[in-house]
Each structure stands twice: as C-alpha cells, then as structure tokens.
Amino acid sequence: MKLALIHPQIIRGSGVENYLIEFAKRLAAAGHELTYITSLTTPEIGAALPGRWELLPRLRGSATMRMWHFNRLAPRAVAGVDLSIAFGRTCAQDMHRNGTGCHRLYGNLLPFWQRFSVKHLYELHLERRLYTGGETPKFITSSARVAAQLQGVYGSDGERFRIFSPPVETQLFKPSESRANTREILCRKMQTDATKPVLLFVSLSHRRRGLEPLLEAMKQVDATLWIAGKSLSAELLARIKRLGISSRIRVVPVTSNLVELYQSADWFVHPTQYDAFSNTVLQSMACGLPGIISVMDGAVDHVRNGENGLMLYHPQQSRELATRIQEALAHDAPAWQSLSTAARETVLSLTWEKHLQEWTQVLEE
C-alpha cells in the first residue's frame, strides 16, 4: 500500500516523533511504499527511512505561522498515495494518530499567560476543526481515556475512533536477572541507602508530571526519591531544601541507563496532571516495577488497582499521594513480587507485531 506520513518535523525528539520514525521503519519492512510530508528532518533520518520525501517550505518567524503554513500546504502535497496518516496539528488527512491527548484539557494546566497566547489559541482552533469537521474520517488514539475525552469535549462520533495501545520493547525493558545485585550496585553509585525503599520519578516536564506535590509528599515518606530526566531548576532545588528532604533526593544524570533505574527502584511514582499516554508507565511495568499511576494518564488503561499496581486518583493532592506511597511501602516481599509479576505479564502482549496488525486491519478497512 502507498502511504503518506504527515508531520511538521520528522526528527528525534518528542515521543510522537520517535514513535513515527519507528512506525515508518516497520511499515517499510512490511512492504508499504512511504512518502514523508514534512518541513524538517535530518540527513541521518532521511537516509534511515526508505521512501520518498516531500519537503515543504518552513517559514521563519513564529511557531503559530509555521503551524498555519504547514496545515495549509500538507493536504496539497498528498498525491499518488492510497492513504494519508497525520501525527500533528493538521486537519485534512485520511487518518489522524493522536499522541498528545486533548489540548483543550491540557491547556488548563498551562500558566495563566500561556492560555491566552496566540499559539495556544490557534492550537485549540485546529483541534476543534479536526474533531468537529469532516476532513478526517478516522482517528487513532493510544487510550480509551483520551478517546472519551475528545468525544466528550467535541461531540465527535465514537465510530470514527480506534484505540491502539503503544508497543513496548519487552526484550529491552525487562526485570534484572539478579535484582538484588543490580539494586545494590546502583544504590552505591547513587549514594543511596539500600536498606530503605527507593522511589523512581521520570520526567521531562516536571510541572505537568507532578513533581511539586511529590516533593511535598516526601516529607511524610521514609524513602529515597530518584528523579530522572530533566535537570532541576533553582526554584525546585530551593523547595527541596526548604522542605528538609535534601538527604533523600537524588537527581539522576540524563545519561543514566533508564532500564537499570527501573530494575533497581522499588516503586515507580507517576503523579502526572495530564498525559495522553506515558511510555514510561509501560516501560516500568515491563521491568517488573510496580507503579503508583495517576488516573490522568491514558496509560492507566493497563493498571488494575491492587493487582499490577496502584492508581492515584487526585495527583495534585500531596496528602493523598503520601498516603498511597505509604500504602505501597507497606507491601511485604511476597505481595510486592506478585504485583511485579503481574505488571510485566500485563504488557507482554503489547508488541510491535500486534500493533502493526491493528494498523493493517484499519488501513484495509
């Protein structure tokens, strides 16, 4: 089948872009002929992805103007293909894969001044046009939660939605063959007391992912918190000091091996205020790391409270978060192991092979 993949930039960066690149490789390997419609890529990616490239002009100036220009040009660039699949802020294509959730709901978390920026208002306009207009027949979301949000906000027909959970590389993300040794070595490296529980928080957007209420909750928790991903601002460092928890906070270098962190921690804590679908949830589960997962993340579709993890119902409330962490830490070794085993078993079926089979079915339809 001849397919066009549409996104303003096809580079290594966000989760959406990384997914698109891997998705394209797998489609090409399955025999599909691909055309990439974009305004920005790199020579390395251009060489790695087989197919034809349609590079559209990239306007200088504001991001809003670039969105407007790409949304205007992209539909005209689609020619000679069977189907077009878009991944970003465009309105006219055969299918749209939503990897960012409902921007109208996410916008409620933005600082006050950003909610009235031209860029944010234009993104809301494009989202409304996408889900209320008739230019895109089919929508693909990563979770039932996001599909329900979009249908509720925009009144979109549920028949136009399909839900494909993201795949997870379970051969890479897996439990350690010797968890005790891996944990001891990493705790020594991180200058962490191995006799106390270790919580893991992974984020590139600390405000949205709920680091502030988590730090407040740490006042009531006897454990060490590893923070991986984005470095901490001076404001957050000052808050940690003011809370008196500096001795129990460890900031993990960006270059650290994420798999080792999952294999060594005792609980994955994910109090996000909003996420369409965090890959870190599936990755941690694949490593056998039970999580305390916010219901504001679409990945909660795969969490069964008390069976393969714990759900967090009000992630912005530090008191509830502290209570849930204390409940988690009260699990004895057999109970923790049961959660660990169930977490991994839950995601074993979420393979790329299954994911492509789901896509193949909807493409044929």
Residues 153 and 205 in one domain: no
Handedness of CA 181, 185, 188, 193 (dihedral sign): negative
Give me the number of domains the chain comprises.
Answer: 2
Q: What is the pLDDT of residue 253?
A: 79
Q: How large is the average pLDDT for residues 173-183?
A: 95
Residues 153 and 273 in one domain: no
Does a structural domain hold residue 357?
Answer: yes
Residues 72 and 109 in one domain: yes
Residues 282 and 314 in one domain: yes
Q: At residue 255, does pLDDT exceed 90?
A: no
Q: At residue 256, does pLDDT exceed 80?
A: no
Convert the pLDDT of each residue in 117-145 to its tens digit. Answer: 999 999 999 999 999 999 999 999 999 99
Q: How large is the average pLDDT for residues 170-176?
A: 96
- Nearest 5°: CA angle at 293, between 340 and 329? 55
Q: At residue 94, does pLDDT exceed 70?
A: yes
Residues 157 and 196 in one domain: no
The CATH code of the domain that includes 90 is 3.40.50.2000
Residues 154 and 24 in one domain: yes
In this prediction the pTM is: 0.92
Does a structural domain hold residue 71?
Answer: yes
Q: How large is the average pLDDT for residues 319-340?
A: 97
Does a structural domain hold residue 46?
Answer: yes
Residues 15 and 162 in one domain: yes
Residues 64 and 204 in one domain: no
- Report the SS3 class of residue 273: coil
| DSSP annotation string for 2-51 | EEEEE-SEESS-SHHHHHHHHHHHHHHHTT-EEEEEESEE-HHHHHHS-S
Convert the pLDDT of each residue in 342-355 to its tens digit. Answer: 999 999 999 999 99
Q: What is the pLDDT of residue 56?
A: 96
Residues 50 and 193 in one domain: no
User: In Å, how far from its chain's centre is CA 352?
Assistant: 16
| Both tokens assigned to 258 | 């994420």
Torsion of CA 273, 277, 279, 280, to 10 degrees: 20
Under 8 Å between Cβ of 300 and 272: no
Residues 60 and 192 in one domain: no
Q: What is the pLDDT of residue 190?
A: 92
Residues 287 and 329 in one domain: yes
Under 8 Å between Cβ of 294 and 271: yes
Average pLDDT, the chain: 95
Does a structural domain hold residue 227?
Answer: yes
The confidence band for 230, taking pLDDT boundaries of 50, 70 and 90, is confident
Domain hosting 150: range is 2-166+351-364
Residues 208 and 72 in one domain: no
Does a structural domain hold residue 172?
Answer: no
Convert the pLDDT of each residue in 202-229 to its tens digit. Answer: 998 898 999 999 999 999 999 999 999 8
Does a structural domain hold residue 174?
Answer: no
Does a structural domain hold residue 313?
Answer: yes
Q: What is the pLDDT of residue 204?
A: 87
Convert the pLDDT of each residue in 51-89 to its tens digit. Answer: 999 999 999 889 999 999 999 999 999 989 999 999 999
Does a structural domain hold residue 229?
Answer: yes
Q: What is the pLDDT of residue 110?
A: 86
